[in-house]
Amino acid sequence: MNYRHSYHAGSFTDVIKHIILTTLITSISRKDTPFCYIDTHAGTGYYDLFSDYAKKTKEYEGGIEKVIQQENPPPLVKRYLDCVHKINNQLTESTFASLRYYPGSPMIARYLMGPHDRIITCELQLQEYQTLRATFAGDKQVAVHHADGFLGLKAFLPPRERRSLVLIDPPYENLDEFSRIAYSLPAALKRFSTGVYAIWYPIKEKNQVDRFYRTIEEKISYPVLAIELTIYPDLPQHLNGCGMIVVNPPWQFDQSINEILPWLWKTLTINAQGAYCAYLLK
Ligand SMILES: C[S@@+](CC[C@H](N)C(=O)[O-])C[C@H]1O[C@@H](n2cnc3c(N)ncnc32)[C@H](O)[C@@H]1O
């Protein structure tokens, strides 16, 4: 496995994913009872944008750098940006640190969760796992596993809290990841039908995404919200944008997302290309 998320940290697709994640956790934590966040493909927890990897692609310039420059972002985007500021302040020990570090999904979840919530992470790549483990060393609320995230779904569901958000965020290095999701998600829902499941995917070929939706529609009998944001037109073999399907979306989550999407698209689009939408697949 060659994938390293450090090349893509803070990219426009990371920003979209992490703002949706922030919105989901905010919706779920409106209820006062504890919940369990499961991150099946966790990465390292946070990323150094000054590293050789990040500097090589500079993908953060089209993502977090654009968002951070906006005045008056919507409140949920502000909440996400607070996480970005927090990691920078924490690691540079200055109150107004500029942008150097970028928090990954488990770190964002950690900042947003309450004292009785719990995080379970899986990471398969040994080096990434070791970094992730060091990041959360001594944190009793976070469990870090060197494991295949799809197998983790079997091991960790249902959670004892009976309330859970599962993020499935594979690298999509090979196409079989769409089929692994189509196979694993119904099985996970069988084990734990009331969980909220968020699955991120790249939008490169529209046909591929449509095929994925059709499979989900066929195999899953629970409500599914599809969220898409593209910043380029439908260019073949090109990362035009990304999407997230949310199975069992929390109450009023669609409303919150629809308030953010126009702002986010306007901030991230290249020359007003691409589009955004959020709609119920079923
Ligand atoms: C897109 S990155 C994750 C980014 C992270 N979720 C975030 O938003 O900050 C995907 C991660 O999955 C890891 N990975 C790949 N295949 C995996 C598998 N089968 N199970 C668990 N982790 C896997 C990769 O090493 C990589 O760190």
Give, for ligand 1, the residue of 124, 136, 175, 239 to mutate: max count of ligand atoms closer than 8 Å to Cβ: 124
Q: How many CA atoms lie within 13 A of 260 on its CB side?
A: 28
Reported as a single tens digit per residue, the pLDDT across 108-157 is 999 999 999 999 999 999 999 999 999 999 999 999 999 999 999 999 99
For the packed helices 75-92 and 253-268, what is the interaxial angle rounded to 10 degrees? 70
Indicate the Cα dihedral angle 51, 10, 22, 146, nearest 10°: -50
Rounded distance from Cα 41 to ligand 1 centre (Å): 3
Rounded distance from Cα 161 to ligand 1 centre (Å): 25
From the CA of 47, give the closest atom in ligand 1: 9
Indicate the Cα dihedral angle 173, 177, 179, 185, nearest 10°: -160
| 20-26 mean pLDDT | 98
Q: Which residue ranges make up each domain of the chain? A: 5-201
Reported as a single tens digit per residue, the pLDDT across 24-79 is 999 999 998 999 999 999 999 999 999 999 999 999 999 999 999 999 999 999 99
Locate 14 and state its tokens. 């990371």
Locate 116 and state its tokens. 């009785």
Give the domain 5-201 fold. Rossmann fold (3.40.50)
DSSP helix/strand/coil, 282: coil
* pTM of the entire predicted model: 0.97
Reported as a single tens digit per residue, the pLDDT across 216-273 is 999 999 999 999 999 999 888 899 999 999 999 999 999 999 999 999 999 999 999 9
